Amino acid sequence: MFTNITLRTILKSSVGILRESGALCSAVSASPRKCSSAFLSAPKVSCVSGSFASPTLARHYARTAKQKVTGPQSQLSDLPPTMLKMDYAAVPVAQTTDDVVKRLLSLELANHSEKLQLKKEQLISKVQRHENDRTSVEVQVAILTARIRNLQEHLLKHHKDKSNKRRMLMAIDRRKKLLKNLRLVRYEAFEKVCEQLGITYTFPPEYYRKATRRWVAKKAFCIKVFQAVQKQKAEQKLKLKQSSDAAAAVATAAAQTEAKSPKM
């Protein structure tokens, strides 16, 4: 009994909804100009009474593909993926193993730190004095160069990383000091390091000072004062020269008059 009652109520509600939709469609088709803005903004429904249709989908126009921003080339791009890791490069068994094992031991599946370590070893081998050299100035410059370039690539993607930016600036200052001392002590080694590592050495300025507004205004005022003082000195020199010329003319005239006058 309860099931019959529930079925009847569901049928009555569905018939009422169908009648309302049919009346709405007839009103819209009969007077389209007099319909309210609510009808116009509502999704379109099929005008056949007793049937519902899904609203029409909006047309998606073709959008231009976003162009990928190509940054500078990474220092790790010249490492081939088939190269073995640094820990397994000197193992002879790793050269004769299966292809799957070689792939696991190669740089194809290596992380960033392992690739960076291999790149650091390559830079060290270019500038070291002998095979076991690990503490010379050239080796320290190579290690700092690999670290600086790695931090530069990181900051291009994450430019708000202040801690790594600070580390990069500290490494740059340390490398500048080492190159300055190497240039004063061993100039040939300095040229070799700059050539092998691709470093452009620029001479530091003699004086560092932050250009603030107050400093710029003070410098302009000092320049004006200096120019005014130089002008006053030039005027004083001209007056002294004119007075000396006049005194010399008077002395010569007096000498001439004394020469012309008869002696008593």
Q: Are 147 and 141 in contact (CB under 8 A)?
A: no
Report the number of distinct structural domains present in the chain: 3
In a domain, 203, yes or no: no
Q: Are 150 and 118 in contact (CB under 8 A)?
A: no
Q: Would you state the pLDDT for residue 69?
A: 60
Pick from 80-94, 114-128, 212-226: least confident: 80-94
Mean pLDDT of 156-167: 93
In a domain, 4, yes or no: no
Residue 79 belongs to domain spanning: 75-110
Does 106 score more than 50 pLDDT?
Answer: yes
Taking the C-alpha atoms of residue 55 and residue 37, their distance in angstroms, rounded to an integer, is: 17
Pick from 6-15, 87-96, 132-141, 192-201: least confident: 6-15
Dihedral angle computed from the Cα positions of residues 11, 17, 23 and 25, in that order, rounded to the nearest 10 degrees: -120
Q: Report which of residues 133 and 7 the model is more confident about.
A: 133
Half-sphere exposure of 241 (CA within 13 A, CB side): 6
Q: Do residues 188 and 128 both lie within one domain?
A: yes
Sequence-distant (6+) residues with CB within 8 A of 146 are 75, 116, 119, 120, 123
Q: Do residues 150 and 92 both lie within one domain?
A: no
In a domain, 134, yes or no: yes
Q: Do residues 124 and 185 both lie within one domain?
A: yes
Taking the C-alpha atoms of residue 181 and residue 185, their distance in angstroms, rounded to an integer, is: 6
Q: Would you state the pLDDT for residue 208?
A: 74
Look at residue 217 and give its three-state secondary structure: helix
3-state SS, one letter per residue, for 96-153? CCCHHHHHHHEHHHCCHHHHHHHHHHHHHHHHCCCCCCCCCHHHHHHHHHHHHHHHHH
Does 14 score more than 60 pLDDT?
Answer: no
Length of the chain counted residue by residue: 264
Burial class (CB in 10 A: 0-12, 13-18, 19+), 119: buried
In a domain, 161, yes or no: yes
Taking the C-alpha atoms of residue 192 and residue 4, their distance in angstroms, rounded to an integer, is: 98
> What's 139's domain CATH number?
1.10.287.10
Q: Which residue reads 């690739």 in tokens?
A: 115
Q: Would you state the pLDDT for residue 60?
A: 57
Look at residue 84 and give its three-state secondary structure: strand
Instruction: Give 3's pLDDT tier (boundaries 50, 70, 90).
Output: low
Half-sphere exposure of 5 (CA within 13 A, CB side): 2
Q: Do residues 118 and 180 both lie within one domain?
A: yes
The helix-helix angle for 187-197 and 137-157 (nearest 10°) equals 30
Q: Do residues 39 and 95 both lie within one domain?
A: no
- Cα dist from 229 to 226, 238, 241, whole Å: 5, 14, 18
Taking the C-alpha atoms of residue 111 and residue 180, their distance in angstroms, rounded to an integer, is: 35
pTM over 0.85: no
In a domain, 103, yes or no: yes
In a domain, 211, yes or no: no
In a domain, 66, yes or no: no
Q: Do residues 126 and 179 both lie within one domain?
A: yes
Q: Do residues 124 and 168 both lie within one domain?
A: yes
In a domain, 218, yes or no: no
